[in-house]
Amino acid sequence: MNSIPLRIRLMTWYAVILAVSLSFFGLVAALGMRGSIDAMVDDQLQDRMTAVRSLINTNLAGGATEENIRLLLQRNFELRLGDDLLQVADNDGRWIYRSPSADHYQIPAGVVSDHPATTPQFGPVPVRLLSGIAEYGGKQYQLQVGTGMDELQKATARFRWLSLLTIPMLLALASMGGYWMAERAISPVDQIIRAANSITVNNLASRVEVPQTRDELQRLSETLNGMLERIEMAFKRIRQFTADASHELRTPVTVMRTRTELSLRQRRTEEEYRDALVQNLTEIEHITILVDDLMFLARADSGADGVQHAPVDLTAVVLAAFQEAKPLTKAKAITYLKEIPKVPILVRGDSQLLQRLLLILLDNAVKYTRARGHITLYLSSGSDTATIKVSDDGIGISEADLPHIFERFYRADKARSRESGGVGLGLAIGKWITDIHAGEIEVESKLGVGTTFSVRLPLTENDVTGKKALGPEVDIVRLDSF
């Protein structure tokens, strides 16, 4: 069924629903017509029975004989009966009166029905019959009134045949109309399909034309264009990522190759060989860090880097990161201002990744802080979030660079980053770590004044409850200088 074109399936469903609807309508109409005819005939027979019974009872009470009754019935009803039936018989089945059409219907005496029968047929013509009793002086008379149903039944039959003939014709016409409407409805979808098929890697900037119809087709086109825009941006990022990674790897490899070739061109002293090897080792360490970061981001993008979410004491993580980052400050004699609470602050996440996030921020602060500068590490907890801030009084970041600092391989000061070994992946990794912990990372900076990175992480449910019970915490301020 799925291989059948959509327009054919729409037309088929339309035709099936219409066929069922028309058939139901025809059946209801035929039954309604038949019921209306029977009800109309029954009313007429009831009126006639009442009139005949009243005439007989009145005249018998006046002393009339059965012969007089016959003449009265003949004089009062015969002209009005036409082809209708009127018969009166006594208890012995002897006829007192029979209308001229009685032989045509051949209804015997003794057929009694308090309600109109369903057109019994004793002769060649079906008749709608109503029987009754007129009683006077201890003697009963059988009354029968009826009307022929042959013409009415023929009319009903004609209606049925007309329905049987017209319903298929209407169904055929409606199916063709349904196919035409389905064709018109599907045509814009075909245009969207053709436009989408024409878009390849080489022309990702192309877009599907959006019909201004304010319906599902417009929303579909806008959704496809939005998806194409995201794909285009993803391809651009991949290309840029590949180009940047190639450049970052090619530069140290080229330096090592050149240095090695120069060392091998002529005999050198042991100290010169050793110096060349030490420089190459430094480049290899930079390449190793870069490859590790690239592998980390590749696993993160593919979802293969499993993250263990468990309750983590953020206070302990921050203290561990602080201790690990201490050696970075010795060369510049930087002063650390640490503001960390004594009580545990619980978040849900991966302690190793959170510590890596803090080391990235601290390392970044050290790189861009002048000698004998200051770095502040701050941790606090609110009603439902924990906040980490890393502030420095370094060179700062320009407003033009702020929107891009979390992009991969982006460096606001490329010369300085190359000197210090950075390749522009640290903050991208930090942003990813924050995102997988359902947190937020923000930056505030001013050139020549300094930079502050703020990370907000949701507290665990138990820690939120504990905070509400214990009240606000008191932070302990300590000053460590190196």
pLDDT of 418 strictly over 70: no
Q: How many Cβ atoms are within 10 Å of 477's Cβ, its own excluded?
A: 9
pLDDT digits (tens, 9 = 90+) for 188-232: 777 777 777 877 777 777 777 787 777 777 888 888 888 888 888
pLDDT of 332 strictly over 50: yes
pLDDT, position 316 = 92
CB of 314 closer than 8 Å to CB of 432 = no
Residue type, 206: S
Backbone angles phi, psi at 479, to 5 degrees: -125, 120
pLDDT of 308 strictly over 90: no
The 3 state secondary structure assigned to the chain is CCCCCHHHHHHHHHHHHHHHHHHHHHHHHHHHHHHHHHHHHHHHHHHHHHHHHHHHHHHHHCCCCHHHHHHHHHHHHHHHHCCCEEEEEECCCCEEEECCCHHHHCCCCCCCCCCCCCCCCCCCCCEEEEEEEEEECCEEEEEEEEEECHHHHHHHHHHHHHHHHHHHHHHHHHHHHHHHHHHHHHHHHHHHHHHHHCCCHHHCCCCCCCCCCCCHHHHHHHHHHHHHHHHHHHHHHHHHHHHHHHHHHHHHHHHHHHHHHHHHHCCCCHHHHHHHHHHHHHHHHHHHHHHHHHHHHHHHHHCCCCCCCEEEEHHHHHHHHHHHHHHHHCCCCCEEEEEEECCCCEEEECHHHHHHHHHHHHHHHHHCCCCCCEEEEEEEECCCEEEEEEEECCCCCCCCCHHHCCCCCCCCCHHHHHHHCCCCCHHHHHHHHHHHCCCEEEEEEECCCEEEEEEEEEECHHHHHHHHHHCCCCEEEEEEEC
Work out the widest C-alpha separation in the chain, in whole angstroms.
162
Residue type, 304: A
pLDDT digits (tens, 9 = 90+) for 346-393: 999 889 889 999 999 998 888 888 888 899 999 998 888 999 999 999
Domain 6-154 listed as CATH 3.30.450.20: yes
pLDDT of 79 strictly over 90: no
Residue type, 241: F
Q: How many Cβ atoms are within 10 Å of 182's Cβ, its own excluded?
A: 20
pLDDT of 470 strictly over 50: no
pLDDT, position 475 = 40
Percent of the chain surpassing pLDDT 70: 85
Q: How confident is the model at residue 153 (pLDDT cuts 50, 70, 90)?
A: confident
pLDDT, position 81 = 65
CA separation, residue 151 to residues 44, 106, 115 (Å): 16, 18, 22
Mean pLDDT confidence for 98-117 = 67
Domain 310-481 listed as CATH 3.30.565.10: yes
Instruction: Specify the higher pLDDT residue, 257 or 301.
Output: 257
Instruction: Specify the higher pLDDT residue, 343 or 23.
Output: 343
Mean pLDDT confidence for 157-176 = 80
pLDDT of 122 strictly over 90: no
Q: How confident is the model at residue 442 (pLDDT cuts 50, 70, 90)?
A: very high
Domain ranges (residues) in the chain:
6-154, 216-302, 310-481
Mean pLDDT confidence for 293-298 = 77
CB of 427 closer than 8 Å to CB of 403 = no
pLDDT, position 466 = 45
Q: How confident is the model at residue 456 (pLDDT cuts 50, 70, 90)?
A: very high
Mean pLDDT confidence for 327-331 = 78
Percent of the chain surpassing pLDDT 90: 11
How far apart CA 389 and CA 358 sit, in angstroms, is 9
pLDDT, position 472 = 38
Residue 348's DSSP bridge partners are: 311
Q: How confident is the model at residue 242 (pLDDT cuts 50, 70, 90)?
A: confident
Structure tokens at 272: 């010169």
How far apart CA 222 and CA 106 sit, in angstroms, is 80
Fold type of domain 216-302: Helix Hairpins (1.10.287)
